A and B are shown apart, each in its own frame.
Chain A
Amino acid sequence: MRKRLWLSIALVLIVPAMLFTTSCAKKAVTGTSASKMAQDEAARKAAEKARQEELARKRALEEQRLKEEAAQRAKMEARQQFENEMVHFAFDSAELDATAQDILRRKAAWLRANPDANIIIQGHCDERGTVEYNLALGDRRAKSAKNFLENLGIAASRMTTISYGEERPLDPGHNEQAWAKNRRAQFVIK
């Protein structure tokens, strides 16, 4: 109640005061240039402020856009890295060494960050050994990568495995360098 009373009193005082000011201003247009200059200055300042604000807003938008782009790029890069980074194995082995385990931990992190993604884990071998044995070995390699990810909490339902044995080498060479490259688990996002 009290607040309202004060508000009423204020209005009674202010409204006539404003009316008076307006009539004064009319006079000022034709009157002193000093007050006009002050007014111009105020207007300029206001415009400048608006411009600054607009610029800031644009800058923020641009920053936001860049940030989003960077995030998008990072996401794409992470996705590409997920697909491009192979888990490698020793000859005739499906065991995961420390490097392989580190790579798989990164894969698990990506899979947690992308809960909608389902993947295929391919198992591959080098050309040594024989076709049938290598199909079995490739099966074990893919499954050992899958089991490791499962133990890190990735749902088995998100991962399928396939063995290609020695049928799809990355490097067609016939030397240890090529063989090392070809003994791998490869990850494909469905």
Chain B
Amino acid sequence: MRLKPIATILSVVLILFCGHAFAGYDYVDINNPFLRKIPIAIPQFKAISGTAGEFEVSHSASKLLTETLAFTGYFKVLDPAAFLFDPQKDGIVAPNINFKNWTTVGAELLITGGVLRTADLVEMELRLYDTFKGKLIVGKRYRGQVADQRRMIHRFCSEVVYQLTGRHGIFGSKIAFVSSSSGNKEIYTCDFDGFDPKPFTHNKSINLSPAWSSDGRWIAFTSYVKGNPDLYIKNVIEKRGSVVSRPGINISPAWLPGKFELAATLSFNGDQEIYLLTGRGKIIKKLTNMPGIDVSPAWSPDGKQMAFVSKRSGTPQIYIKNIISGEVHRLTYDGRHNTQPAWSPRGDKIAYTALVKGQINIRVIDVDGNGLLQLTDGPGDNESPSWSPDGSLIAFSSTRGGPSKIYVMTAFGTDQRRLLDLPGQQSEPRWSANILP
């Protein structure tokens, strides 16, 4: 079970120092946080009592911290080979740290760690320093099972990113996606960094378009398990849920933020229209009413507006509907094939998939229609953008290496990298909110 009570996992979370007074949001330029990466040094954590079991944890935990902070795109993690001395011999607390050693190698931030292990219990002290000011920004102590170190490190990463950006990051989030690893398209889930991918469906049919409820407790998706493309609404933990299986298509689910309601396209009336459904699959109301395809709803974070794809003007374009006034306006004009809108968690941008001159790429546009940017530029097809819960990253699928695989990039299109190493093809990534404790 992923969602264990917090108490059993981290018995103590002790704030060593209140870093909020420091909360220096000027570390990261929020207009483009990825333009200049902050150089950070993360020496291997100190094994306090020096046992072999402790070294093992200190090695794996500092490696994970390094990888996780690098994943965010905010940092340039310095190569330990460039360090001027053996950090294992230096102290991990301010008076015993020679900050000059760190500023000389170019580090602006330093994370020190200490690990104490007794049998299967681990206590970890982690501190983030500003090397130029020689000051502690945030310090935390975690205690738990050896197996919980991943969660301890993610908690600390969340603190670090919060101190530097004012947002808690992505470390409690997961990604759902479609994978053909088994020979059939099944829904899978994994952690935000691609860790622990596992199948969520096992029905050997075609499963498509997973969508998380905002509390992460439900995944809606389309499945052909009974022959027709039906909409399944499944609880992530318990074996219960509902099915919408009206004649025609039952597809493209998108949960209303903060509610047990979702929008989806149904065509039982002949035309493909977007409806608002309860979490049990009952129709509340029709959200679009126009001949031609209306599909792929995407909610604004406040749930007051809905972006969607419509062919009402002759080609598929992104439109925005104001749910309160009912007014609809067209957002995209560039290109003849714009689909798959994804509304940014900060509410200001919409990412979508554009087919231009035979090339399929991901673009972002401001909600007011300005600031059009293309984030990918081949090779292969790049599609299905999905924002990380803090809006800093975008997951997408790409055929740049041949078969379709899942990639991650920053919201500005930089740092594009492959997320998973699974056989078969992967597509339609959908990022959840921060749902892990």
Contact surface of A with B, Cβ cutoff 8 Å: 92, 128-133, 135-137, 139-140, 143, 160-165, 167
Contact = CB atoms under 8 A, between A and B. Distances in A.
B337 A131 contact: no
Interface string B305-323: 0000100000110000000
A128 B249 contact: no
Interface residues of B, number: 35
Nearest to B228: A162
B209 A139 contact: no
A118 to B, nearest CB: 15
Contact of B229 (A137, A160, A163): A163
Given A161-B248, A163-B249, A132 B265 contact: yes
Given A139-B248, A143-B270, A163-B249, A132 B340 contact: yes
Given A92-B315, A132-B209, A136-B293, A167 B185 contact: yes
B267 A139 contact: yes
Nearest to A127: B381
Given A129-B337, A167-B185, A136 B265 contact: yes
Contacts of A161: 248
Given A132-B296, A133-B295, A136-B251, A162 B229 contact: yes
B163 interface: no
A128 B378 CA distance: 14
B427 A131 contact: yes
A82 to B, nearest CB: 21
Interface in B220-273: 222, 224, 227-229, 247-249, 251-252, 265, 267, 270, 272
B395 interface: no
Contacts of B249: 135-136, 139, 163
A131 B209 contact: yes
Contacts of B295: 132-133, 135-136
B213 interface: no
Interface string B374-391: 000000010110000000
B316 A92 contact: yes
B62 interface: no
A165 B427 CA distance: 15
Contacts of A137: 293
Given A139-B272, A162-B227, A132 B337 contact: no
Given A128-B360, A130-B353, A135 B229 contact: yes
A169 B208 CA distance: 16
Contact of B293 (A128, A140, A160, A164): A140
A128 B296 CA distance: 16
Contacts of A132: 208-209, 251-252, 265, 295-296, 309, 339-340
26 contacts: A128-B337, A128-B355, A128-B360, A129-B316, A129-B339, A130-B340, A130-B383, A131-B428, A132-B251, A132-B309, A132-B339, A133-B295, A133-B316, A135-B222, A135-B229, A135-B251, A136-B249, A136-B251, A136-B252, A136-B272, A136-B293, A139-B267, A140-B293, A143-B267, A162-B229, A163-B249
B206 interface: yes
A140 B272 contact: yes
Contacts of B185: 167
Nearest to B314: A92
A129 B247 CA distance: 23
A133 B354 CA distance: 12
A165 B353 CA distance: 17
Contacts of B267: 136, 139, 143
Contacts of B247: 160
